[in-house]
Chain A
């Protein structure tokens, strides 16, 4: 698996006075914590930027951060119609892994995982990255064989992955019901030990704070209403806070990608669907890893607060409403209770939906467009969170240099003309 050299950028915080450390904590404690500065400025838009990122979620903020820290573009802005990380960044189940089948996927998700490892230091922000392992379980002989094929492909790409027997799974996750008498018995599984979780809000905040420190303007409550063009070139954007001139626009808006593409007269191969998740009331630690099951359709982990965090597949219909239908969480809970009978009397605390942009091959789009200076990063579907740093890193490279690097290249829109799809339904169909 070859790829560009991993340039982590400047790292740390330029403004030393704002840096978080045990010493700053002690200093602030002495003044009863009244001296903390805001993490990023509430910027108002300037009339012109070198580049504008539309979408203030994890991917957009990461793009801005790497544009500034790796490519030295500091006269940039992130435009967000709501609040930072209020979309899918704050709505996912925070699972991180890089165990995908195809080389193209291995290369981008592993690029992301390498950035996750050390991201807290890069950003000087505790993103609570926890490599607690991600265990995917198989419920049939066929699934186990397919899994073993995938494990070999993953290992050939230099990514850690191992098969576990039902006995090993029982030892690893004592609360799981591995009894062979259940409807879909556990036949085995595969584990990526370097996988895990991170605090999703902290990822958005950490990137925002570090990008702001490098000079990027982060503009919230500002909706883009139109894209301005002159011939085939992008010249600026119209927003609810006025017109902003720029020659480079990066769109990272997940579920609303088709809406934004429409403004440029483009159409994408996307369907925007609700993806639901829920958390239980907090309980004492009972699960110290992430469990996913494609066959019975759910994934589960326990947050540091003690809540059980559960998710499943997308709803069957297109929607922009950030809510889905009841049968989806009902099905998810049936699966959870069969595998973990201990959860059966747990009460659910919160339940929500986010709008994900699903692609026909379950792989993202990172691409130039027919409009010069207009770039799209979308189609992450149900599994974008894990890719946040890698996505931002290669997208910043695409925007800065106006050409995709070797990691981003296979993800161009062109693949829907050439047929060179990256079919990851096996790895991405449900399990995020």
Chain B
């Protein structure tokens, strides 16, 4: 059984948690111009690495709050636990975040508000 370090309650057994799958999937903003193929990247396609994986867990039988975990999918080693809305700090987990194909998707670009400036919108 895994032991996870809930940022709010400390080290607990896996049985207290539920797993929410891949972390850092940003929802495209309303009014986006994505086609169905690009939207599928957000909706269905998933990072499924053999190696460091960034995922969401919830302390379902405890504080019931969500948090992020960086975990290795072969050794099951838990590299880091970090708060929702923040990015990982360890080198391996940061690298996994930056090198993920999702960073380059149109869906992720459409999840950020357009920069004000040149187009004047």
Given contacts A269-B40, A360-B44, 13 further A-B contacts (CB under 8 A): A258-B48, A258-B50, A267-B47, A268-B46, A270-B48, A271-B46, A272-B50, A272-B73, A317-B2, A320-B74, A327-B14, A416-B45, A419-B36
Interface contact A317-B19, CB-CB below 8 Å: yes
Contacting residue for A318 out of B44, B45, B53, CB 8 A: B53
Q: Are B76 and A319 in contact (CB under 8 A)?
A: yes
Say whether, besides A318-B55, A320-B74, A321-B73, A326 and B46 are in contact (CB < 8 Å). Answer: no
Give the nearest-CB partner of B20 in chain A. A316
> How many Å from the CB of A381 to the closest CB on chain B?
13
Neighbouring B residues of A317 by C-beta, 8 Å = 2, 19, 55, 71
Would A267 and B76 be within 8 Å (CB), given that A258-B49, A325-B2 are in contact?
A: no
Describe A's contact surface by its main secondary structure: loop
Indicate if the CB atoms of B40 and A271 lie closer than 8 Å.
no
What is the CA–CA distance of A258 and B47 in the complex, to the nearest angstrom? 8
Indicate with 1 or 0, residue by residue over A287-326, a CB within 8 angstroms of chain B CB atoms: 0000000000000000000000000000011111100011
Across chains A and B, which 5 residue pairs bring their CB atoms closest together, nearest first? Answer: A258-B48, A269-B44, A416-B44, A316-B19, A417-B36
Number of A-B contacts (CB under 8 A): 67
Contact residues, A161-204 vs B (CB, 8 A): none
Whether A269 contacts B55 by the Cβ 8 Å rule is no
B side interface size, CB within 8 A: 29
Chain B nearest CB, measured from A182 CB (Å): 23
| B15 lies within 8 A of A318 (CB) | no
**8 Å CB contact of B45 from A269, A319, A320:** A269
B19-52 CB contacts (< 8 Å) to partner A: 19, 21, 36-37, 39-41, 43-50
Q: Check: B98 CB closer than 8 A to any chain A CB.
A: no
Shortest B79–chain A CB gap in Å is 14
Q: A256 within 8 Å of B by Cβ?
A: yes
| Nearest residue, chain A, Cβ from B36 | A417
In angstroms, Cα B101 to Cα A270, docked, is: 15
A321 touches B41 (CB 8 A): no
Encode contact with A along B3-17: 1 for CB under 8 Å, 0 otherwise. 000000000001101
Contacts of B47 in A (CB 8 A): 267
A349 interface residue per 8 A CB criterion: no
B-side residues, CB < 8 A to A, are 1-2, 14-15, 17-19, 21, 36-37, 39-41, 43-50, 53, 55, 71, 73-76, 101
A417 touches B21 (CB 8 A): no
* Contact between chains at B40 and A416 (CB < 8 Å): yes
Asked if residues B45 and A268 are in contact (CB atoms below 8 Å), the reply is yes
Q: Which residue of A lies closest to B4 (CB)?
A: A317
CB of A325 within 8 A of CB of B14, answer yes
> Quick one: given A321-B73, A327-B15, are A416 and B43 in contact (CB under 8 Å)?
yes
Minimum Cβ distance to chain A for residue B103 (Å): 12
Chain A nearest CB from B3 CB (Å) reads 10
Say whether A325 contacts B48, CB under 8 Å: no
Residues of A within 8 A of B101 (CB): 267
Q: How far is the CB of A425 from chain B (nearest CB, A)?
A: 15
Candidate in B39, B75, B76 with the most chain A CB atoms within 10 angstroms? B76
Closest beta carbon of chain B to A227's beta carbon, Å: 16
21 contacts between A and B (CB under 8 A): A267-B45, A267-B101, A269-B44, A269-B45, A269-B46, A271-B48, A316-B18, A317-B19, A317-B71, A318-B21, A319-B73, A319-B76, A320-B73, A320-B74, A321-B74, A321-B75, A325-B1, A325-B14, A327-B1, A327-B15, A417-B37
